[in-house]
Amino acid sequence: MATDYYDILGVSREADDNEIRRAYRKLARELHPDVNPDAAERFQQVKSAYEVLSDPEKRRIVDLGGDPNATAGAGGFGGAGGFGGAGFGGLGDIMDAFFGAAGGGGGRGPRGRVQPGEDALIRIDLTLEECAAGVARELTVDTAVLCERCEGGGAEAGSHPIPCDTCGGRGEIQNVQRSFIGQVVTARPCPVCRGLGEIIPNPCQQCGGDGRVRARRTVTVQVPPGVGDGMRIRMAGQGEVGPGGGPAGNLYVEVTEAPHEYFERDGVDLHCHVSLPMTAAALGTTLRQRTLEGDEELHIDPGTQPGTVHTLRGKGMPRLRSSGRTDGRGDLLVHLDVGVPEKLDARQTELLRELAALRGEEQPEYSGGRHNGLFGRRKAAGRGR
């Protein structure tokens, strides 16, 4: 049974080219895989139906009860009629199928005027806090949009595309050459209609027949919590509208994350460095530690050593899944840098020496870069031999 291409597009058999084009554009926008991933098969059916009904010769075959997409395989080499069956009439037909014929072999045919649009890319600058919390931003984009004057058809009101006289509506120019194996047919896109098979005698004054114009518009992007530098957010159907008013591509918003003055990001974890006086590390203390959600108390145990890392669980960045949802948070790692005083007055020096004596720690005397302790005495003894 032949496929009912009119039913697939939802138009009557008396529909003109404009009605068929409008029906296709409407369905293509609804069923495009980027907009409706579950409708990929239905989208291909609609696309195939438009390619058939927009071609005058293929539409004539449909109106006669045939199916132009099924005729190529009606007979074939394995058909009941063999070489003389419904598929091929004989050896001459076989050669024509492979190498073409002087009367015009089967080419690829005209390409559709309606084509899918390309994707667009725009970048957005965010702070670490915005990446952590998520944010809604209004962006100004400059893309191709549907021409409102002709609604994508490319022609002025009352005008319609007509078959190209140069290629006869085939969309390509064929060149036949003789060789020792017979006639070889080569084809190239028609330079007049650019492979479309039709021309617009009275193109739209707003878009020049392209079916789209460039315009600046505003879109709102929802940035989910947990995004990071270089990540892209896909906005389906917000990219460039295709030629002939075809379905728009996607708009990708790429995140550029600004460096933070305090935190350093490592995936979902955050790192920071806190300077701690030597006495506080020895005696222990409580600090007010900065986090993305405000200050928290950080307890430092007595005897904390330089390079100690305190981990605050769940105080890092949200963990973003591929679904766009967050699942928990990373950690905040606080690196303690214990500072040794560079200059001491006499009283401070005395107190430290008393502390060293109480701890039983031998402290060699410092004298102009030379140590007079045990190591210094050994060197002096060596020189006195």
Are 128 and 260 contacting, i.e. CB atoms less than 8 angstroms apart?
yes
Are 330 and 270 contacting, i.e. CB atoms less than 8 angstroms apart?
yes
Q: Residue 86: how many CB atoms within 10 A of its CB?
A: 12
- Taking each helix axis as running N to C, give the angle between helix 17-31 and helix 40-53, from 0 to 180 degrees, rounded to the nearest 10: 170
Are 362 and 374 contacting, i.e. CB atoms less than 8 angstroms apart?
yes
| Residue 121 Cα to chain centre, angstroms | 8
Six-digit token string for 261: 């003055």
Q: Is 272 annotated as a binding residue?
A: no
Are 51 and 61 contacting, i.e. CB atoms less than 8 angstroms apart?
no
| Residue 302 Cα to chain centre, angstroms | 52
Q: Is 190 annotated as a binding residue?
A: yes
Q: Is 131 annotated as a binding residue?
A: no
Distance CA 107, CA 385 (A): 105
Q: What is the dihedral of CA 332, 337, 338, 342, to 10 degrees?
A: -150
Residue with tokens 């701690």: 276
Six-digit token string for 381: 């003894």
Helix (H, G, I), strand (E, B) or coil at 281: helix
Distance CA 322, CA 246 (A): 29
Among residues 97, 118, 87, 4, which one has the least CA distance to residue 53? 4
**Maximum pairwise Cα distance, the chain:** 121
Q: How far is CA 313 from CA 48, 158, 224, in A?
A: 56, 69, 21
Six-digit token string for 153: 């058809």
Distance CA 244, CA 22 (A): 11
Q: Residue 164: how many CB atoms within 10 A of its CB?
A: 20
Which positions make up the binding site for Zn(2+)? 147, 150, 164, 167, 190, 193, 204, 207
Q: Which residue ranges make up the annotated binding site?
A: 147, 150, 164, 167, 190, 193, 204, 207
